[in-house]
Amino acid sequence: MPSRILKKRSLIPGQTSELTLEAPHIAAKAKPGNFVILRVCENGERIPLTIADTDKDAGTITIVYLVLGKTTAHLETLKEGDEILDLCGPLGKDTDIHKHAGPVICVGGGTGIAAMHHIAKGHHTVGNHVIAIIGARNKDLLLFEAELKRFCPEVLVSTDDGSYGHKGLVTELLEERLKADPSVAEVVAVGPVPMMAAVARTTKPFGVKTVVSLNSIMVDGIGMCGACRVSVGGKTQFACVDGPEFDGQLVDFKELSSRLSAFKTMEQISYEKFRSGHVCTCGK
């Protein structure tokens, strides 16, 4: 069924926005770690997006996207009151959230911070001490800092150019924090593949459980097509029904990033066609 956009908030102008969607049947079931598959218009492609927040009482879910290709560019043209043609979910396994004795560190990079937010909130809800470590290229590209501060006693920030917080990588902050505090119970990382791989490398010597949320290519998202397969501990797993979260120490990140590039050329063709004005006529 179509889903109406109740609220649109531009997070990084022209690049990243947050949509609050009317979807009571999804909001009723959605848990941290879940995602949705959406299709913007009749000729559109199905794409997966992580649920960044839910409000059961209001019957809404929140998604955050980065304009990367045709579908997200089309999403960016939609306004409050417009409808998304198909919204399907919640999909994927729920994050394993339970009370830990020690703190949980949630690491987020780029748009992944939004997805990480829902997981961090879940950990906070069961009473865990949540430390957020977030990073972006520069201050203007940093997301969800204020939202995380609402429930995280510590929010550590890094930027590549040093325009805000620590100058450098999130993994440097993570390593420092792990060295200082041996009681950390778990690390969760959501962001670009190289970041998640680096987080897994960083936590390895500390032996801390490390969960990563994988952004594989998906088509149906319901356990039918196998497009989202990833190698985990040498075994083929499916991000849509076995994941999207897996043990970061066991994921073959090299294979994942190679598979993510499979349709690059064609995605570019779609995007160029859209930008050159051949706008899908079913859009608003």
**Nearest residue (CB) to another protein, 191 versus 221:** 221
Residue type, 101: A
Sign, CA dihedral 46-50-56-57, equals: negative
At 65, is the secondary structure helix, strand, or coil? Answer: strand
**Nearest residue (CB) to another protein, 172 versus 267:** 267
- Closest separation in Å from C-beta 174 to another protein: 29
**Nearest residue (CB) to another protein, 47 versus 156:** 47
Which DSSP string corresponds to 128-197? --EEEEEEESSGGG--SHHHHHTT-SEEEEEETTSSSSEES-HHHHHHHHHHH-TT--EEEEES-HHHHH
Scanning the chain, the segments in alpha helix (DSSP H) are: 24-27, 70-77, 112-125, 145-149, 170-180, 193-203, 253-260, 264-275
The answer to whether the CB of 220 falls within 8 A of the CB of 46 is yes
- Closest separation in Å from C-beta 281 to another protein: 11
What are the residues binding another protein (CB under 8 A)? 1, 25-26, 29, 39, 43-46, 70-71, 85-91, 219-220, 222-227, 229-231, 236, 238, 241, 255, 258-259, 261-263, 266-267, 269-270, 273
- Closest separation in Å from C-beta 3 to another protein: 9
Distance separating alpha carbons of residues 256 and 243, to the nearest angstrom: 14
**Nearest residue (CB) to another protein, 134 versus 232:** 232
**Nearest residue (CB) to another protein, 185 versus 260:** 260
- Closest separation in Å from C-beta 234 to another protein: 11
225: annotated binding-site residue? yes
- Closest separation in Å from C-beta 256 to another protein: 9
280: annotated binding-site residue? no
Residue type, 24: P
Compute φ and ψ for 258, nearest 5 degrees.
Answer: -65, -45
Q: Is the omega angle on the peptide bond into residue 192 within 30 degrees of 0, that is, cis?
A: no
Distance separating alpha carbons of residues 143 and 155, to the nearest angstrom: 12
The answer to whether the CB of 155 falls within 8 A of the CB of 165 is no
Q: Which residue carries 């999403």 as its tokens?
A: 75
- Closest separation in Å from C-beta 202 to another protein: 25
228: annotated binding-site residue? yes
**Nearest residue (CB) to another protein, 99 versus 235:** 235
- Closest separation in Å from C-beta 63 to another protein: 15
Distance separating alpha carbons of residues 88 and 52, to the nearest angstrom: 15
**Nearest residue (CB) to another protein, 176 versus 247:** 247
- Binding annotation: 225, 228, 240
Residues of each annotated binding site for [2Fe-2S] cluster: 225, 228, 240
